[in-house]
Structure 1
């Protein structure tokens, strides 16, 4: 059906405004576009205005136009395309030379084709309706201040994803964009990566489709543009308008309907609770945390009603919280105020970018811990690799001189060690004092510092492992000197060794431990460790009953409560008590040494060694001080120190540290 006179007038006015041409100068019989002389960018912007103001979706026909008008690899018109243009634009000379798709004539031809096939189907003019009222515009403008940057970015990510899902256009690149948006919202890391991805995203976006379609999308009436705006590292608030525009385009909304849809996402982020209605920590049971974490990680919030049930079982009676979980009209997404209250700032599933770490992991730590780590990194040997530090310490003379010793003092120290164990030769005494020197390498704290500075869990695993093995070696040396042979190592070293999955050292400690009855009298927790490592659950249950009567230091009471869950073979209780330990450490971190809770890691692995199902309900992907990256790395690297090759530094050092063999260097320790 041809356009009516009124329709043609309305279209001509819109086109004229975009082309900056006085419509009164156009003859009534003139072509809609032919006489305007607009460039391709103007044409694309005009097309976007027509799309929203006339309520027309141009995408299907734009795809057809892209296919209909083609150029050769050298940029010339194909024979078919030339024929179509000559038919559409009779009397206009078609250049025989190279013609690019961005040329003015090309754009005019595509626009004419578009209107022939699409606009002629309109029976009557469509009145333009404002996007939203003044009050709605004011509400959108205050969103950045009301939500803050994190929740604003999460709102934008959820809303844009909703638009893409409707169009079935969530490609791997788009998914990557959402991952980056979520990570940046939760960690603030890193602006450079956000900026670089945004630039690459625009470049990829502009590689596909025809010029007019890309321009139309960029104009702001398509999810591609709203995602591009949301990726802006500096001004996310400017994406609010383009998200509303995308809603109008994708869902065919008019007036304030797009803003109403945006409010459904907004209502998920803003808590109605007052200052007095704080979220009770008792409601954060393992079941509640597990549900909230799983939904946050997967971005699938379909189990919100189950979360309401879990919260109610945990003792939550707050109707606002329970009603929000049950509300099916709200679009629940990351940033949901109930889920945020449960997770309390510990956002899971936000893997950090693999790039040199200068402020990423360090930025997540409390200020005191961060300063403690930064102080450690200022030490001279903090920049050395593990092998370089071992080589430095193995040279006893040189490392002693670095501490200000003279050569006479070095010789006197070697002589003193020889006198303490007359059975040693001078060479063996030098080996013994050098091994003792290796123990003083500050391995644990430097391992933690380098783990955060380099984003390498291996630095912590190997550094802590060397510290424990050095302590075992030093214990053996002391017992050789004072008449023993390494037979007084506390069984607590079993769980400490298992913190970095050093099973070899744990087995060695278990082998030299005296009878369990002696251990249980002196140290009930040590007895528990030995019983668990030997998988003797009958003995473990007996020890657990005795723990209730024992007077334990406050720093190990958590182990006693955890043991009760182990004795009952209850994964739920084990997870609860391990989580209590993690939460307590999280609140009290002050130094580099407790930036990662290695005791919790060790007890977890000891439980796993005793019976894997015991730890099946514990969340191994949570935030620090549980080191999820360390845990993941250790799954593929059991006995990390045993995989070192130190023979190039010294065969004696390799046998001692890697093989736990002191028979050659210090025969008295056989």
Structure 2
């Protein structure tokens, strides 16, 4: 797959291989980081006065080492270098689980939206994460750019199967005089979902794919394979499989046909990485998604 990339992307991949351990297993890559950084993370930077076990401290430190875009970029690199779409799916799911069940609030106790990252994570088929996230967070994000807040409102309304909330989100979008093109495409798709119109959903997704490379991205590599249309597709498919009956998924980049087929063949399975060998507690957190009290650093009771 790497031969199909422009030269600048091929050079980018070479950098990723070296800096993000794309040539290593995830265990070897993170184990090396644990050995290097744990003395500081488990020593002077340890969070004081919290009700964690030592294993939870280790899990938190491991989460710190794994969190962020390097994990997602690493998945892109392995997808392209080794033609392994499962690496992109697993990195997207794990990236999302590390982001959305932990650290979603700022110092004002507002939930941050990061809605583009929602779509990137949904591309892996990880609906369960956002069912959990939506159940424990407010219906609307109060911080962040308007485009992000609109995306957040639409996505969480669909996950909640709340048609009134979705209609309200669409009405709010329609009041925007100069929306970004990809927001227009996304809401055209959501309008089709609200109207139970597979033709409209297909048109919206087609337009979204066509404009997806114009989405502002932190990394150019994210424009080569665009995960956001995959995420919106998975959202519609989960809501009602009939909605995507008019959409043809067999297409070329920036849509990743290999990723699409991997997700289809692994439905019902947890798409995130298995990190038990790195931290059993972190593996439990990734599976169970036990949202914590962000400010008290307190884990809720198991029944909570």
Q: Normalising to structure 1: TM-score of the pair?
A: 0.39
Say whether residues 1:387 and 2:11 are aligned partners.
no
Gaps of 5+ in 2: none
Say whether residues 1:461 and 2:64 are aligned partners.
no
In the TM superposition, what is the alpha-carbon distance from 1:430 to its structure 2 partner? Answer: 5.0
Structure number with the bigger relative contact order (C-alpha 8 A, sep ≥ 6) is: 2
Match of 2:66 in 1: 438
Q: Counterparts in 2 of 1:278-293, with a 5 A limit? A: none
Counterpart-to-counterpart distance in 2, 1:537 and 1:512: 19
In the TM superposition, what is the alpha-carbon distance from 1:483 to its structure 2 partner? Answer: 9.2
SS in 2 for 1:563: helix
Counterpart-to-counterpart distance in 1, 2:165 and 2:53: 47
Match of 1:655 among 261, 264, 284: 284
**Aligned-residue CA RMSD (Å):** 3.4
Q: Normalising to structure 2: TM-score of the pair?
A: 0.79
SS in 2 for 1:368: helix
Say whether residues 1:669 and 2:296 are aligned partners.
no
**Contact 2:90/2:271 (CA < 8 Å) preserved in 1?**
no
In the TM superposition, what is the alpha-carbon distance from 1:640 to its structure 2 partner? Answer: 5.5
Match of 2:135 in 1: 511
Say whether residues 1:548 and 2:174 are aligned partners.
yes
In the TM superposition, what is the alpha-carbon distance from 1:659 to its structure 2 partner? Answer: 3.0
Match of 2:78 in 1: 450
Match of 1:562 in 2: 189
Q: Which runs of 4+ in 1 moved over 6 A?
A: 587-590
In the TM superposition, what is the alpha-carbon distance from 1:503 to its structure 2 partner? Answer: 2.0
CA 1:490 to 1:640, structure 2 compared with 1: closer, same or farther past 3 Å?
farther
Counterpart-to-counterpart distance in 1, 2:20 and 2:113: 33
Match of 2:151 in 1: 525
In the TM superposition, what is the alpha-carbon distance from 1:567 to its structure 2 partner? Answer: 3.1
Q: Deviations over 1:522-561 (max 9, x none)?
A: 7232111112112233432343233111254455333233
SS in 2 for 1:384: coil
CA 1:645 to 1:584, structure 2 compared with 1: closer, same or farther past 3 Å?
closer
Counterpart-to-counterpart distance in 1, 2:152 and 2:96: 16
Match of 1:488 among 108, 111, 115: 111
Match of 2:236 in 1: 607
Counterpart-to-counterpart distance in 2, 1:507 and 1:668: 22
Q: Deviations over 1:639-668 (max 9, x none)?
A: 6555754333321121123333477xx971
**Contact 1:415/1:429 (CA < 8 Å) preserved in 2?**
no
**Contact 1:489/1:513 (CA < 8 Å) preserved in 2?**
no
CA 1:578 to 1:535, structure 2 compared with 1: closer, same or farther past 3 Å?
same
Gaps of 5+ in 1: 1-360, 402-406
In the TM superposition, what is the alpha-carbon distance from 1:440 to its structure 2 partner? Answer: 4.5
In the TM superposition, what is the alpha-carbon distance from 1:626 to its structure 2 partner? Answer: 0.6
CA 1:431 to 1:570, structure 2 compared with 1: closer, same or farther past 3 Å?
closer
Match of 1:579 in 2: 206
Match of 1:74 in 2: none
Aligned length: 289
Say whether residues 1:400 and 2:30 are aligned partners.
no
In the TM superposition, what is the alpha-carbon distance from 1:501 to its structure 2 partner? Answer: 0.6
**Contact 2:50/2:298 (CA < 8 Å) preserved in 1?**
yes
SS in 2 for 1:415: coil
CA 1:639 to 1:591, structure 2 compared with 1: closer, same or farther past 3 Å?
farther
Counterpart-to-counterpart distance in 2, 1:438 and 1:557: 34
In our comparison, the structure showing a higher alpha carbon Rg is 1
Counterpart-to-counterpart distance in 1, 2:136 and 2:291: 15
**Contact 2:250/2:257 (CA < 8 Å) preserved in 1?**
yes
**Contact 2:193/2:201 (CA < 8 Å) preserved in 1?**
yes
Q: Counterparts in 2 of 1:389-428, with a 5 A limit? A: 389-393=29-33, 395=34, 398-400=35-37, 410=40, 414-419=43-48, 422-424=49-51, 427=54, 428=56
Q: Deviations over 1:493-531 (max 9, x none)?
A: 654432101122111111112145979x97232111112
Counterpart-to-counterpart distance in 1, 2:274 and 2:161: 32
